[in-house]
Amino acid sequence: MTTLEIISEGRGDFLKVDPDGYREWVRDHKDRAMVPKLMSEKEAIEKLVADGDYLVYECNYLQRGPSALIREVIRQQKKDLWIGAKFTWVAAALLVGAGCASKLDVGFFLFGPVVEQAIREGRVKAYEYSNVVMTNRIMAGAMGLPFIPLRSFGGTDGFEHSGAKLIADPYTGEPITIVPALNPDVALIHVHQSDVYGNARIFGTGISHVESAMASKKVIISTEEIIDTEEIKRDPGRTTIPYYVVDAVVHLPFGAYPGEMQGRYASDMGHVIEVIGATMRGFIPQYLDKWVYGAASHTEMMDKLVGYQRIREITSRATIKEGYGA
């Protein structure tokens, strides 16, 4: 066997790549039977998120993300999480500010004094990628592969601080960048509709929801609406995520709040500005006290802290319905 030539490689730590281990996990843990998976967000996060897990979330706290599930992770004070911080405004910073995260694979996220201090004091370590490099890594994980070649990322300084390698392509002889596949421990995904088994529908654009669901050992879906399996069967082309990759289904109307859920409700602009301001000015603890620790559950937060007036306002501003399954 000849050895593949590695021209250069990054020095960054990366989650251990183990495609056969992942297959065995899927063999042993992903239930093939159609069993109801409905549970509360408290139960789902308690059961399926462990300290030290690698966590990805689809989209982010402000854009059709699993915001309620992220708040519950913080409420339960999970520790030492490794976060896939791609395409994200405040979610990664909130997790760092809450003391839940110790490693970040960066694509893009909003920094601020709290994160800067955590990195400076060595409580958090950042590894450098980009948004698409991260979704390619998750894609490779979803394909059951150990790595994926890509035509970007080479030549950057991010490459040096990542798990990427530049190799001589054995087919063309040209240099090609490869990045390690990512099989996260947990994926949090917020969807428009799901049945109780986890056959889920997302309408509209997204980042890497299918890939994240396929690539992750434990998949928690939160959904705006629970629909009947008969409805899934009437229009199977709309199933985004099949039940057998899903481990928990949590019914959380307004689960993307304060973010937008396309076709259902707009973002709460006041809240968006509040949380961005908190991130940029170092007031994450105050934000968490008010919005996360200030309520025992998502439902309680929506009832007591958000309230009917604001819910009516964000709902009425969602005027575009085309394409969102209405």
Partner 1 sequence: MSEKATYFNEREHQICLVARMVEDARTYWVAGGGSPMAAILLAKKLYAPNAVYVTEDGVVNPEPMLPLDPIMTMVSARSSYRALQWGTMNSIGFQAQIGLMDYGILNTLQVDPYGNINSTALGDYEGEHRRFGGPGGADSIAASCWKTLLMTDQQKRKFVPRVDFISSPGFLDGSPKAREQAGLPRGTGPWRVVTPWALFDYEDRQLRLIGVSPFVTVDQVLSEMSFKPRTAAQVETLETPTEDELALLRSELDQRGQITDVGKPVVRQDDGTYAFVEQQKENGDLPSSW
Residues that bind partner 1 (CB under 8 A): 59, 62-64, 85, 87, 89, 106-111, 115-116, 119, 126, 128-133, 135-136, 139, 150-158, 161, 166, 174-177, 204-211, 260, 262-263, 266-267, 269, 272-273, 276, 318, 320, 323-324
Residue 6 burial (C-beta neighbours within 10 Å; 0-12, 13-18, 19+)? exposed
Q: Kindly state the smallest distance separating residue 309's Cβ from partner 1, in Å.
A: 18
Q: Kindly state the smallest distance separating residue 88's Cβ from partner 1, in Å.
A: 9
Q: Kindly state the smallest distance separating residue 297's Cβ from partner 1, in Å.
A: 25
Q: Which is nearer to partner 1, 37 or 64 (CB)?
A: 64
Q: Which is nearer to partner 1, 63 or 193 (CB)?
A: 63
Among residues 250, 216, 192, the alpha carbon closest in space to that of 84 is found at: 216
Q: Which is nearer to partner 1, 305 or 320 (CB)?
A: 320
Q: Which is nearer to partner 1, 48 or 202 (CB)?
A: 202
Tokens of 62: 């402000």
End-to-end CA distance of the chain: 57
C-alpha span between 187 and 98 (Å, rounded): 19
Q: Kindly state the smallest distance separating residue 28's Cβ from partner 1, in Å.
A: 28
Q: Which is nearer to partner 1, 44 or 133 (CB)?
A: 133
Helices (H), 121-224: 131-142, 157-160, 209-215
Q: Which is nearer to partner 1, 38 or 167 (CB)?
A: 167
Q: Which is nearer to partner 1, 76 or 117 (CB)?
A: 117
Q: Kindly state the smallest distance separating residue 136's Cβ from partner 1, in Å.
A: 7
Q: Kindly state the smallest distance separating residue 59's Cβ from partner 1, in Å.
A: 5
Q: Kindly state the smallest distance separating residue 165's Cβ from partner 1, in Å.
A: 10
Strands (E), 123-211: 125-128, 147-150, 165-168, 175-180, 186-194, 200-201
C-alpha span between 275 and 128 (Å, rounded): 24
C-alpha span between 4 and 175 (Å, rounded): 12
DSSP-based three-state secondary structure for 268:
coil
C-alpha span between 196 and 299 (Å, rounded): 19
Among residues 252, 253, 227, 259, the alpha carbon closest in space to that of 240 is found at: 227
Dihedral sign for Cα atoms in the order 89, 150, 208, 325: positive
